[in-house]
Structure 1
Amino acid sequence: MIRRPTILDVAARAGVSKSTVSLVLQGSKQVRPETRAAVERAMAEIGYVYNRAAANLRSASVGLVGLVINDLRNPFFTEFATSLQMALAAEGYATVIANSDEDAELQAKLVGSMIEHGVSALVISPAYGGASETFDQLARTGLPVMQVLRKMDERTDLFPFASFDYASGSAMAARHLLEQGARNIAFVGGLPGRAITRERKSGWREVLKSEGHQEIALHGKSSRAFGMQAAGQLIADHPDVDAAICFNDLVALGLMAGFARAGRPIGAEFRVVGFDDIEEAQQAWPPLSSVACDIAGFARDTATRLLAWMVEGQRPAPELRSPVHLVSRMSSTGHPE
């Protein structure tokens, strides 16, 4: 029995993705005329016949993008998820969003479910732990898959990675604090041994090394609770420390609360810089200085590059680092804005 040509055969012949062929069959205006012509030519050459009845049964999953986030409780990741979903919606795509809650086993199940429900592509900010089960099953699908904010699989040729230039961010923060008169700058937060912690510490470490300053780091969960705990530890065990760069704004906000409880003013006596510049950083008292990551713009750029891959077969660069900048406020300068 002669096998009937499939959509995968058309994609291979035309040199595009399966998603692009699907969009051509749907009559989508997102496909370039030359790409549409190449797909239609491939269909004619191999004798592909579109089964519209079968396609109608699958129509619920057409244009569906999966998004798996490691921690949706963190406002930084929530802003990314919301902005990406809105950017995709503007182009006619629906997004299925799931929170893995930093659980690699749950993450693998969520990804498996999304594959079963026919997502056309997937964006993942992966949980720590055993990521191989998640990414191996994704590799078998051939779907466009992007890693964002965390790189847990080194096969960036298959799973392109995009994040921020965290190293330059912590270097900016360290130089800023030294310019403000700080003498001993601690790094607070982030679990040890993780790539993201090393990245966010690296610029701080290089600046301190070049200035001949001692390194003091307190590691822990990226939460307000740890920030408050670290405040007590700094006051009791490191009285000479007069400034801190925090792993993220949640840790920084907790640290400031801990110092406030101890009657220690933030800004002039002890200076603090956070990371991510979430909305609450500006609203806190004193307003929190932070390394700003344009997470909304990053999400829109992610959507653009993902759609180019899905529609035109333009695979993103293996790795991309978006720039960051320092927003200085009262917590580090001691002066109201």
Structure 2
Amino acid sequence: MSPRRPTILDVARAAGVSKSTVSLVVRGSPTVREETAKQVRAAMAETGYVYNRAAANLRASSVGLIGLVINDLRNPFFTEFATSVQMALSAQGYATVISNSDEDGALQAQMVGSMIEHGVSAFVISPAYGQEAETFEQIARAGIPCLQVLRQVDMRGDLFPFAAFDYARGGLLATQHLIAQQARNIAFVGGLPDRAVTTERMTGYLEALRGTGMAPRSFPGRTSRAFGAEMAALLSRRHPEIDAAVCFNDQVALGMLSGFARQGRTVGTDFRIVGFDDIEDCGQVWPRLSSVACDIAQFGRDTAAALLDWVETGQHPPPMRRAPVALAARESSLGFGSEGKSP
């Protein structure tokens, strides 16, 4: 019996990388770090692996595979982002594997490992918090291109470029708008205090309050409608002097909207609210919700384009990119009879 021909899996095991990384090396992809490529070539020599170019060309006729890992697909903001990325990649002939980590770092690491084993060419990750090393170290070892979006948990921008919206400016615009509407006591509601994204949104809020004589008031918590409704009741009961809020996101703001409605308080006059993200629901509820508008559909398309440039041409994205925001002002902050949008 003739000896078994070495396979790409044998090379991957010998090199300690994924089979997709070996595939990228044998095809001469510029996306794999030189150190990893040398490691793979040494393993090929050690195992006696011979690259079958005819078979590889046949495989290459199928679409590439991109891993898209999202922290919370229940949130419409992240759902729209994932949809936009998937559609943009599909238009260029790529298939997408989409997974919801459900804010679970361990689950995220498990899903990423499985995607690597199934041969994804690249990742887009809106990461969960916790166990970050387990997720990103295995991607680094595999040498697979990976974009972090909307949240940054690994600071190595050279390995994992980061793109998000200008959260600090969004907080500034929202707070300045409420000040212009004659709000006297403005709170920041929602968001966990140890998260960078919360700090960034609060930075703009604090900057806008500086010099106004207003004391900052923050009420950290979950980024959910249930928390927003709870906060509407709490503010009415314990802090009647607070007459406006910048909310961490639209989910919190929509919860406050319904919470105040239960109490018979009129949002837009008795209490003014600005959310963050400007999801579709903002324009469908009543009173319509003012929000920091993030063009998530365009952001998704830009993310897909940057990733494909990296995968196909080796054009590495910048370590950090911030997309612009605007304020979509509606009845929840303006009162009734007017609507506006500031740059």
With normalisation by structure 1, the TM-score equals 0.86
Q: How does 1:105-124 map to 2 (within 5 A)?
A: 105-124=106-125
Could you tell me how far 1:305 is from its partner in structure 2? 0.6
1:8 to 20, 25, 47: 25
1:166-225, CA deviations, whole angstroms, 9 ceiling, x for partnerless residues?
A: 100110011100101101000111011111111111100111123121111111110000
- Inter-partner Cα distance in structure 2 for 1:192 and 1:238: 20
Shift of 1:271: 0.4
Give the number of equivalent residue pairs: 302
1:188 matched residue in structure 2? 189
Q: Counterpart of 1:89 in structure 2: which amino acid?
A: S
Of the three residues 53, 67, 70, the one matched with 2:55 is: 53
Q: Tell me which residue corresponds to 2:176.
A: 175
Runs of 4+ with >3 A deviation: 3-7, 54-60
Partner of 1:31: none
CA–CA distance in structure 1, aligned partners of residues 61 and 118 of structure 2: 11
Match of 1:28 in 2: none
Contact 2:26-2:51 at 8 Å conserved across structures: no
**Hey, what does 1:136 align to over in structure 2?**
137
Match of 1:208 in 2: 209
Q: Aligned-pair distance for 1:269?
A: 1.4
- Alignment partner, residue 26 of structure 1: none
3-state secondary structure, aligned to 1:162: strand
Q: Does 1:17 align with 2:31?
A: yes
Aligned pairs (5 A) from 1:81-160: 81-160=82-161
Could you tell me how far 1:9 is from its partner in structure 2?
A: 5.6
Gaps of 5+ in 2: 1-5, 12-21, 33-49
Hey, what does 2:41 align to over in structure 1? none
Structure 1: tracts of 5 or more residues without a match: 19-47
Counterpart in the other structure of 1:45:
none
d(CA) in 2 for partners of 1:106, 1:281: 31
Could you state the TM-score of these two structures normalised by the residue count of structure 2? 0.84
Q: Indicate the SS of the match to 1:298.
A: helix
SS in 1 for 2:66: strand
1:30 aligned partner: none
SS at match of 2:109: helix
Structure 1 letter corresponding to 2:336: H
Listed one character per residue, the Cα deviations across residues 9-42 of structure 1 (whole Å, up to 9, x for unaligned) are 6627xxx236xxxxxxxxxxxxxxxxxxxxxxxx
**What is the percentage of aligned positions where both structures have the same residue?**
60
Structure 1 partner of 2:271 = 270
Q: Shift of the alpha carbon at 1:243?
A: 0.4
1:264 maps to amino acid:
R
Q: CA deviation at 1:150?
A: 0.3
Q: Distance in 2 between matches of 1:187 and 1:115?
A: 40
Instruction: Name the SS of the counterpart of 2:260 in structure 1.
Output: helix
CA distance in 2, matches of 1:178, 1:170: 12
The residue identity in structure 2 corresponding to 1:121 is A
Closer, same or farther in 2 for the Cα pair 1:10/1:65, shift >3 Å?
closer
Aligned amino acid, residue 220 of structure 1: G
